Structure 1
Amino acid sequence: MTFDPNRRNLLRHSIAWSAAGAIAIPMIGRAFAEETKPSDPKEPEVTATEDLMREHGVIRRALLVYYEVIPRLRQKPGSVNAAALQQAATLFRNFGEDYHERMLEEAHIFPTVRKHGPEFLKYVDILTEQHNRGRQITDYVLAVTKNGKISSLHANPLADVFESFVLMYENHAAREDTIVFPAWKKNFSDKQLDEISDQFEDIEHKMFGKDGFEEAEKTISSIEAALGLDNLSKFTAPAPPRI
C-alpha cells in the first residue's frame, strides 16, 4: 500500500497544530484568568463631606441619649445612669466640639463659606454662636454628672437644658448638612476635595489615633447599651390611628 506524501505532510502539520494548541490554550486561559482576576478589595475612601456628615451621625446619637433621659430626669432622677451621661458629654466634648467643630468646621469650613455673601456670613455667625453655647452646656452636663449621680436639685434644670440643646443642635446640624457643607464643597475640584479628605484624615489621626470615627461610634454604642437604648426596633413608630 502506498502512502501519499501530501497526506503525510498534512498529518504531520495537523499533529504539530494540535500540540501547539494544547500548549497555547492553557496559556491563554491563564492569561485570561490573570487579566480578569479581581484586584484585592479596598475600602473606598471617605470623602470630606461624607466624613463631616457621618460625624454628625455620632453627635446626633449623643443628642438622642440626652433626649431619651429627659422623662427619666423629670419623673425618677435617681434611676438615671449619671456615669453614662458623663461619658456622652465627654464624647460630645472631645469628638463633637474639640475635633469636629474647632478643627474642621471653624478652621476649614466656615472661613470659606463666609466668602459666599451676607446670607452665608449670617449663617456662620449663628452657627459659631451655637457652638459656643453648646460648649457652655457641655460644661454644665459634665459638672452635674461628675459625682456618679444626679441630685434632685439638678434633675429638672438638666432636663430643661437637654430639651433646648437637642432642639438647637438638630436645627444646627440640619442647616450645616443642607446649606453650609454643599456651599463649601462648590469651591473645590474633585482633586482638591481628595486632598482635603486626606488632610481631615490626618487631623483625625493626630487627635485620636488610627480612626477616631470608629472609636467614637463604639463609644456611643456602649453608652446606648448602658441606658437601654441600643435596640433600634424599640424606636419604630406605632401605626397611625384608623380613619
Structure 2
Amino acid sequence: MEFDWKRRNLLWQCSVVGLGFTGLDFTIVAKDAPDKSEEKEPEVTATEDLMREHGVIRRALLLYYELVPKLRKDVAGVDASALKQTAQLFRTFGEDYHERMLEEQHIFPLIRKQGPELQGYSDVLTAQHNRGREITDYILAVSNGPRISVAHAEPLARTLESFVLMYENHAAREDTIVFPAWKKNFSNKQLDEISDQFEDIEHKMFGRDGFEEAEKKISRIEGDLGFSDLGQFTPPRPPEI
C-alpha cells in the first residue's frame, strides 16, 4: 500500500511538472503570435464613436418623423425654426463631419477592397449620402421663413417620410455590416490610434467636442418641440386576444 501511494504521488508530481512544461511551451508560442484579445481596449473605439454619432443622427430623424403628421393636420402649427435647426445640425454634424470626413474618407475606401458585397454597400451608401444632401438643401429652403407654407406641407411630409426611411435602413446596415467589417482590418492598438485621429478631425471642425455639442443641440430642439420626455413614446398595452 505504501509503495502504491508513493508511486501515485510520484506520477501526480510528474504529471504536474509535465503540464507545467507544456504550459510554458504554449505560453512561448502564444507570445510569438499576435492576439487581439490580450491588447488593451481603448476607452471609446472608433466604431463606438461612429455608432454614438448615429444616435444623434437618429434623434434628428425621429424629429422629422414626428413632424410629418403635424404637417398634414396643422401646418401653421409646425415650428419652422425648429425644423430648420434640425436640418442645420444634420448638415454640419451628420453630413459634413460624420459622412464626408469619416465615412467617405476612412471607412468606404477600405471596405470597397473587401469584396464585391461590401463594394456594393459602399456604392449605395455613397449615393444615399448624396441624395440626403439634396433633401437637406430642400428642407433648409422650405423652412427658411417664419412658417411652412401650405403649398409645401404635403411635399415636405412625403420628403421627410422617405428621408427617414432611407436613413434608418442606411444607418442600420452601417452599424451591423459596414462598421464591423471595417473594424476587422485593425488591431486594438490601431483602432486606438484611429480613434485619436477621428477626435482630431472633430476638434478641427468644431473647435471643441463635436459630439457633446451636437447632443446638447438635439436635446434642446427636442425640448422646444415637446419631445424631451422619453416616457411619452411608450406604447399602450397591446389588445387582449
Q: Which amino acid is the alignment partner of residue 179 of structure 1?
A: I
Superposition RMSD on alpha carbons, in Å? Answer: 0.7
Q: Which amino acid is the alignment partner of residue 60 of structure 1?
A: R
TM-score (norm 1): 0.81
Deviations 1:27-81 (A, max 9, x none): xxxxxxxxxxxxxxxxx73210000000000000000000000000001000000
Q: Return the alpha-carbon distance in structure 1 between the equivalents of residues 129 and 114 of structure 2.
A: 21
2:126 corresponds in structure 1 to 128
Higher Cα radius of gyration: 1
Alpha-carbon offset, residue 235 of structure 1: 0.2
TM-score (norm 2): 0.82
Alpha-carbon offset, residue 237 of structure 1: 1.3
User: Does 2:93 match 1:83?
Assistant: no
1:138 corresponds in structure 2 to 136
2:152 corresponds in structure 1 to 154
1:18 corresponds in structure 2 to none
Deviations 1:69-127 (A, max 9, x none): 00000010000000000000000000000000000000000001001111111100000
Mapping 1:1-243, distance limit 5 Å: 45-243=43-241
Structure 1 residue runs of 4 or more that deviate by more than 3 Å after TM superposition: none
Alpha-carbon offset, residue 238 of structure 1: 1.1
Stretches of structure 1 that go unaligned for 5 or more consecutive residues are 1-43
Q: Which amino acid is the alignment partner of residue 108 of structure 1?
A: H
Q: Which amino acid is the alignment partner of residue 239 of structure 1?
A: R
Alpha-carbon offset, residue 156 of structure 1: 0.6
Q: Return the alpha-carbon distance in structure 2 between the equivalents of residues 157 and 92 of structure 1.
A: 20
Q: Return the alpha-carbon distance in structure 2 between the equivalents of residues 214 and 148 of structure 1.
A: 29
Q: Return the alpha-carbon distance in structure 2 between the equivalents of residues 192 and 46 of structure 1.
A: 13
Q: Which amino acid is the alignment partner of residue 186 of structure 1?
A: K
* Alignment length (residue pairs): 200
Q: Return the alpha-carbon distance in structure 2 between the equivalents of residues 98 and 82 of structure 1.
A: 22
Deviations 1:106-159 (A, max 9, x none): 000000100111111110000000000000000000000001210000011000
Q: Which amino acid is the alignment partner of residue 77 of structure 2?
A: S
